Amino acid sequence: MTALPTPRLVDRFGRIGRDLRVSVTDRCNLRCSYCMPAEGLDWLPKPEMLTDDEIVRLVRVMVGLGITGVRLTGGEPLLRRSLVSLVERIAALPHAPSIAMTTNGIGLDRLAAPLARAGLTRVNVSLDTIDPVHFNGFTRRDRFSDVVAGLKAAADAGLTPVKVNAVAMRGVNDRDVADLLRWCLDRGYELRFIEQMPLDAQHAWDRSLMVSQTEILDRLRERFTITPVESRGSAPAELFLVDGGPATVGVIASVTAPFCARCDRVRLTADGQLRNCLFARREVDLRGPLRAGASDAEIADLVIAEMALKAPGHGIDRPDFEQPERPMSAIGG
Ligand code: SAM
Ligand code: SF4
């Protein structure tokens, strides 16, 4: 095997891009209220979406620039029909990156084993409550049992440790957090709460409705002993021991304690736009040059130039903060 590629995605603050998030579709079969309106969105027309060949080529170019991990997301990634073969092709690349996926879990009961065989190694399943009535209310779909089946299949397929992502919403599911933690602990799933961010399609985010890390921990402390794990490392989640450990619970406090200074992420949207930050106000088109016959070196130069411009932080707390036009489901969460 040849030597590992030299990391080339370096910005003005010395951060190095290593983790590529690839949105494989903007479509979804849930309508989580913090993400999408009930009626859904105007989905991308098929010709505008990257093909498998295009995704694999862009991943190959970016691996050559130092990307070591790929996370497939969306929208709902399991809705892309070719997902298993896409994973297989990325896993077969020289210096293949690790391949993870963030999913709502619907359909994972059928796909977890084939995806694991194809080369997927880790999965984060989003589940915000174990109360089916609450689930149906804010996802606007009756799919709770499908998510539970998907989680079990992921564990059975060896996609372990299975991680669960949860967003707490004030007056909606904020009272469910301790039940969700108990449920995850009983099944060996690692739970991570994510503070709600201004990335919804409706632009209805309101800081006063966001349930902060402090509030989540206070609620968990009503039932568990929660103590910080000493080192946070490079992961965005701050980890806490539950009842003395070894089990942990994490909180990704993107709003109240952002990890921008250690961010190593790069994002590719389903229509081939490169974003150097979830909150970036601009995107760089890779699909156009790709379809116009650009060489790998030309694509690489576009990516290097855009990553060099990465802002120091998302600035949610600044008075001039403007929410990105595209929602999380279109950017790729
Ligand atoms: N559909 C998949 C899922 O739900 O896991 C993948 C895409 S989703 C956009 C990725 C993650 O972003 C999910 O864990 C979801 O809960 C989270 N998310 C969506 N909108 C959010 C928001 N406004 N604030 C914080 N997290 C959000
Ligand atoms: Fe779909 Fe994921 Fe958005 Fe929920 S968070 S609506 S599952 S894309």
Residue nearest to atom 17 of ligand 1 (CA): 333
Which ligand sits closest to the CA of 146? Answer: 2
In a domain, 260, yes or no: yes
Nearest CA to ligand 2 atom 3: 35
Q: How far is the CA of 231 from the centre of ligand 1 (A)?
A: 26
Per-residue confidence (pLDDT) for residue 78, from 0 to 100: 98
Ligand 1 center to residue 182 CA distance, Å?
Answer: 22
Closest among 299, 317, 309, 308 to 55, alpha carbons compared: 299
The pLDDT value recorded for residue 234 is 61
At 61 the pLDDT is 98
Q: Is the peptide bond before 324 cis (omega within 30 degrees of 0)?
A: no
- b/e per residue, 245-268, with b = 16+ CB within 10 A? eebbbbbbbbbeebbbeebbbbbb
Structure tokens at 132: 């089916």
Q: What is the distance between the terminal CA atoms of the chain, rounded to a whole angstrom?
A: 33
Q: Please check whether residue 80 lies inside any domain of the structure.
A: yes
Helix axes 144-156, 177-187, angle to 10 degrees: 30
List, for residues 131-143, the tens digit of each pLDDT value: 999 999 999 999 9
User: 191 in a domain, yes or no?
Assistant: yes
CA of 257 to the centre of ligand 1 (A): 18
Structure token digits, residue 229:
């794990």
- CATH number, position 273: 3.20.20.70
- Specify the pairing of strand 284-285 against strand 273-275: antiparallel
The angle, 0 to 180 degrees and rounded to 10, between the axes of the packed helices 144-156 and 132-139 is: 110
The set of protein residues with a Cβ atom below 6 angstroms from ligand 1 is 28, 34-35, 73-74, 76, 102-104, 126, 165, 167, 194, 196-197, 199-200, 328-329, 333
14 in any annotated domain: no
Position 47 in a domain: yes
Find out whether 326 and 33 touch, Cβ atoms under 8 Å. Answer: no
pTM of the model: 0.97
Residue 330: both structure tokens together? 């279109």
In this predicted model, what pLDDT tens digit does every residue of 275-328 receive, in sequence order? Answer: 999 999 899 999 999 999 999 999 999 999 999 999 999 888 777 788 888 888
194 falls within a domain: yes
Which of 89, 93, 88 has the alpha carbon at shortest distance from 67?
93
Distance 28 CA to ligand 2 centre (A): 6
For residue 138, the CA-to-ligand 1 centroid distance in Å is 13
The CA radius of gyration of the chain, in Å to the nearest whole number, is: 19
Closest-lying ligand 1 atom to the alpha carbon of residue 28: 1
Nearest CA to ligand 1 atom 25: 196
Q: Which residues contact 223 (CB under 8 A, 6 or more apart)?
A: 178, 181, 182
Candidate of 76, 129, 200, 331 to mutate for ligand 2, largest count of ligand atoms within 8 Å of Cβ = 76
Which domain does 303 fall in, by range?
Answer: 19-331
Q: Is residue 195 part of a domain?
A: yes
Residue 319 included in any domain: yes
Mean pLDDT of the chain: 95
- 256 alpha carbon – ligand 1 mean position (Å): 18
Question: Taking a C-beta distance cutoff of 8 angstroms, is the pair 112, 84 a contact?
Answer: no
pLDDT tens, position by position, for the chain (333 residues)?
A: 678 899 999 999 999 999 999 999 999 999 999 999 999 999 999 999 999 999 999 999 999 999 999 999 999 999 999 999 999 999 999 999 999 999 999 999 999 999 999 999 999 999 999 999 999 999 999 999 999 999 999 999 999 999 999 999 999 999 999 999 999 999 999 999 999 999 888 888 988 889 999 999 999 999 999 999 976 666 788 999 999 999 999 999 999 999 899 999 999 999 999 999 999 989 999 999 999 999 999 999 999 999 999 999 988 877 778 888 888 888 887
Residue ID of nearest Cα to ligand 1 atom 26 = 196
pLDDT, residue 333, reads: 73
261 CA distance to ligand 1 centroid (A)? 22
- The structural domain count of the chain equals 1
pLDDT at 232: 60
